[in-house]
Amino acid sequence: MRQHDRDSSEAGVAAEALLAEAGHDRVAVLPVGAGVRHRRPEGAWDGIPWISTKFQSIRRWAVPDFSVEADAGLTMASLNAELAGRGQWLPAGTPDGGADTLGGLVSAGLSGVWAGGYGLIRDRILAMTVATPAFGVVRLGAPVVKNVAGYNLWRLYWATHGAFGLILTITWKLAPLPRAAATLECAGDGPGLAAAFAEARRWRSAANAWAALLLNLRGPRWTLAGVAHGGDAHVERLRRELGATVQPQGDLGAARAQGCPVAWQARLPLAGLPPFLEWIARSGAHGLAELQSGVVWGFRDSPDPQRLDEVAALARQHGGSFRSLSEPWPAPSVPAAEGDMWRRLKASVDPQGVLPALGGDAEGKR
Amino acid sequence: MALIDDLRRAAPRGQVRSEPALLRAYAQDGYTLAAVEPRAVVWPASAAEVAAVVRVLARHRVPLVARGGGTSLSGGATPVGGGVVVHLSRLNHILGVDTDAAIAEVEPGVVNAWVSQAAARRGYAYRPDPSSQQACTIGGNIGENAGGPHCLKYGVTLNHVLMADVVWADGHESRVGSLSGDGEGVDALALLVGSEGTLGLVTRAWVRLLPLAEADATVQAVFDTVEDASRTVSDVMAAGIVPAALEMMDQLAVSAVERGQFRVGYPADLGAVLLVEVDGLAEQVADEAAEVQAIAARHRVRSVRRAASPAERTLWWANRKTAFGAMGLISPDYYVQDGVIPRSRLPEALDAIGQVGRQRDIRIANVFHAGDGNLHPLLLYDGRDPKDVQRVQAAGHEVLDVCLALGGSVTGEHGIGVEKREDLAHQLTESEMAFQRAVKAAFDPLDLLNPGKIFLP
Ligand SMILES: Cc1cc2nc3c(=O)[nH]c(=O)nc-3n(C[C@H](O)[C@H](O)[C@H](O)COP(=O)(O)OP(=O)(O)OC[C@H]3O[C@@H](n4cnc5c(N)ncnc54)[C@H](O)[C@@H]3O)c2cc1C
């Protein structure tokens, strides 16, 4: 047995003390990040907050191994600013900026604009340190890029809003910063998105690995932006073949939602994406889709932002998932067929129920 | 024989057998250091029959082991807990390949290579490619969270399975995951992948396909020393190149594989050979292949070149992928280890493993996924000599201690199975083990699914 090298860091000690106090006093613990998204769970706020932003360091950065362990309270933007100094980055982040904490991103299950070219941020998690009521501070996973030693316990913390414990640190697999980047753009007007989809197909057949391929929808107008990471020669070839405009920087160009906060995120199977986006376009909402990964965001400046239920139902109807990012967060749903198993697991991790609860079955939520 | 009769009723279109000669064949998988005969072997013919079989076994309180291709190298499919083998080889249909959705829908008994071939015909790839891909199944890949050479860039099985139909320990069924790849709420699929058949049985899976890369290039670099090859690995990664695959074989491994069916003609006195594959857009591939060659040249490479044709590339990879089996050409038996280290510790790790071999007087060949830091030392021994068997097992544990001491893990892709239960208990703290056990207890409270795996009794 490995020496029980319990996380003796300040965060670990504080988290254990907080959980112990909550257990003793029978009060709830509420994990809080930067507060840029949800502010509290559904129902009454009555408990002790765990404020992750008190801890914002990089714990260990193995530069040659492209991995970094950082506190959950560090923001995406701060981490990437630091990593850039050594030519590395974590290709993650929602279109409205990098103010999310790393722990918040994981707990809320946020996808990034680079999901198409670099994979889901979830798949870049190598390890985590978490504080649990029953098992104390534990390390899950290992700081290596491949590891199948036991169950994938760190995945319990993806999009479950702290129901299984407080995330203290996360170890990420990093990517090298691209050597060159450029954004190609073209735009068009409705009605309908047939022309946009045809153009996107043409772009995908010109290059089947865009760092991001984004369709920005705003009323009848659409913009297609392809971010190419690579060398000048290939950007030049794409520009020639596609007849698109090249934006000087490799950022998201006009597709970036300038300062506009995200209201919701959906993930659609690729086959369900076109009808879903057609609906968004018809509704006049402001949306952004990454066409290789099926991730779609809706923005708060949509003319009619009250229709979250309708958007959620539509995403699910097309086999997708939906996360509201502007409401009190819902408890993570548990399918009825798995209810007993999850309740047993939750009870063994959190016997006194001090952590955020699991929800019930969510009809059609897969 | 009430149990056998009940199983026959549960799987009327399938088969149930229990003759001793047959049971002997199912006492083992690819891990040859443990063997226990099952009570019976059942071949259900449908997902419904799998569920019915599991319900019968739950009622009789008889444990079961799911079996795919039986190629597990950690004893994952060995029925050490006794009970019945549930063989999924009759659920072997590719139910659909949808390129618009970039998804293949398959039964668990489908062989890994069939999916890749079906996808490739349509311009797509199924990326997890264990070297055993001609024999191992998608169900077994899910069970072990299998990797393979091309997982360096594209990720392991966990990153490619979207959704699955599952039969749980009491025989009830549900669908886990989501076609979108990121469902809502709790995610049982993430726990199932890599659970070695201890939480549930997968009866259907939806896996993600990726478009084939526009271009690829494989570079072969032959070195006089393992150190030079290791430094090349580090520098390739440090240069910001993310190869699709980066594999290494040392001299002993090459000497074996060059006696096999797929001979490349490597010089007998080389120290190590690297295969580096880059893929992506044509211009990027050309640049990166040239850069890999230049980096190798900085580390005293003896010869370095790109595969001149697809046939040559295929030969190089066939040679690499048959390396484990080729050990049989230079030794009566071999024991494949599987450990992971941070890639930058490669030279130290290989040195320490060499020392284990010298101290235990065991020849160790190295064939591995160098880019991932995923080592596969192959320990050569003679299984007819019990002392040799003991020595090789002890050396295997020492190799894993080396990985742990360097900050790694005791398994990168072959799983814990029966082989590494002790090593897992070294890697994790007591509390971490308790958390792992809590998952097993929550999903399979009666310990009926593949008992005796992952955890020491
Ligand atoms: C020559 C050789 C090379 C190899 N190379 C690699 C490699 O490069 N990368 C790698 O990762 N592995 C490799 N392996 C190991 C092995 O092939 C993999 O672990 C593979 O995934 C096992 O698949 P299988 O179908 O043979 O499964 P089995 O060995 O039959 O079973 C493996 C585990 O999965 C469980 N299981 C099987 N089917 C199901 C199901 N339907 N539902 C739930 N659980 C199930 C079993 O109970 C068992 O625990 C290699 C093995 C050999 C012999």
Residue A256: pLDDT above 60? no
Over residues A274-280, the mean pLDDT reads 94
**Host H or E run for residue A62:** strand A58-62
* Cis before A191 (ω within 30): yes
Contact A269 B103 (CB under 8 A): yes
Per-residue pLDDT of A6-34, as tens digits, reads 456 899 999 999 999 999 999 999 898 88
Confidence of residue B355 (pLDDT cuts 50, 70, 90): very high
Q: Which of A66, A109, A135 sits opposite B434 (nearest CB)?
A: A135
Residues of B in contact with A342 (CB under 8 A): 186, 188, 442
What's the total number of domains in chain B?
Answer: 4
What's the total number of domains in chain A?
Answer: 2
Counting ligand 1 atoms within 8 A of each CB, the residue from B29, B67, B165 with the most, and so the one to mutate, is B67
281-320 of A, contacting B, C-beta below 8 A: 293-294, 319-320
C-beta B450 within 6 A of ligand 1: yes
Could you identify the residue written with the tokens 């910063």?
A: A177
Ligand 1 centroid, distance to B137 Cα (angstroms): 7
User: Residue A160 belongs to what domain range?
Assistant: 10-176
Confidence of residue A112 (pLDDT cuts 50, 70, 90): confident
Q: Which of A144, A156, A179 sits opposite B408 (nearest CB)?
A: A144
User: Residue B155 belongs to what domain range?
Assistant: 94-211
d(Cα B454, Cα B457) in Å, to the nearest integer? 9
Residue A353, domain member (yes or no): no
Per-residue pLDDT, A6: 46
Per-residue pLDDT, A308: 85
Per-residue pLDDT, A302: 74
Over residues B349-373, the mean pLDDT reads 95
d(Cα B201, Cα A60) in Å, to the nearest integer? 38
Q: Which of B411, B427, B442 sits opposite A344 (nearest CB)?
A: B442
Over residues B416-423, the mean pLDDT reads 97
How open is the CA angle B123-B129-B130, to the nearest 5 degrees?
165
Mean pLDDT of chain B: 96
Structure tokens at A111: 């996808």
Structure tokens at B104: 């293949």
Residue B436, domain member (yes or no): no
Confidence of residue A307 (pLDDT cuts 50, 70, 90): confident
Which of B188, B211, B234 marks a domain boundary? B211
Does one domain contain both A208 and A304? yes
Comparing CA positions, the residue from B143, B110, B127 lying closest to residue B209 is B127
Per-residue pLDDT, B281: 85
Per-residue pLDDT of B253-296, as tens digits, reads 999 999 999 999 999 999 999 999 999 888 889 999 999 999 99
C-beta B76 within 6 A of ligand 1: yes
190-209 of A, contacting B, C-beta below 8 A: 204, 207-209
232-271 of A, contacting B, C-beta below 8 A: 233-234, 237, 267-271
C-beta B50 within 6 A of ligand 1: no
Residue A263, domain member (yes or no): yes
Per-residue pLDDT, A35: 80
d(Cα A137, Cα A128) in Å, to the nearest integer? 10
Does one domain contain both B103 and B174? yes
**Strand stretches in A157-283, DSSP E:** 166-173, 175-176, 181-189, 212-218, 221-229, 245-247, 262-267
Residue A131, domain member (yes or no): yes
Over residues B147-157, the mean pLDDT reads 92
Residue B226: pLDDT above 60? yes
**Host H or E run for residue B266:** none
Per-residue pLDDT of B309-353, as tens digits, reads 999 999 999 999 999 999 999 999 999 999 999 999 999 999 999
Q: Domain containing A130 — which CATH number?
A: 3.30.465.10
Does one domain contain both B110 and B198? yes
Residue nearest to atom 41 of ligand 1 (CA): B139
C-beta B63 within 6 A of ligand 1: no
Residue B424, domain member (yes or no): no
d(Cα B31, Cα B133) in Å, to the nearest integer? 17
Does one domain contain both A137 and A233? no
Residue B312, domain member (yes or no): yes
Nearest C-alpha of chain B: how many angstroms from A1? 4
Confidence of residue A245 (pLDDT cuts 50, 70, 90): confident
Nearest C-alpha of chain B: how many angstroms from A170? 16
pTM for this model (two decimals) = 0.95
Residues of A in contact with B145 (CB under 8 A): 148, 152
Which of B211, B246, B281 marks a domain boundary? B211
Does one domain contain both A226 and A162? no
Does one domain contain both B201 and B244? no
C-beta B139 within 6 A of ligand 1: yes
Reported ipTM: the value is 0.95
Residue B419, domain member (yes or no): no
Ligand 1 centroid, distance to B139 Cα (angstroms): 8
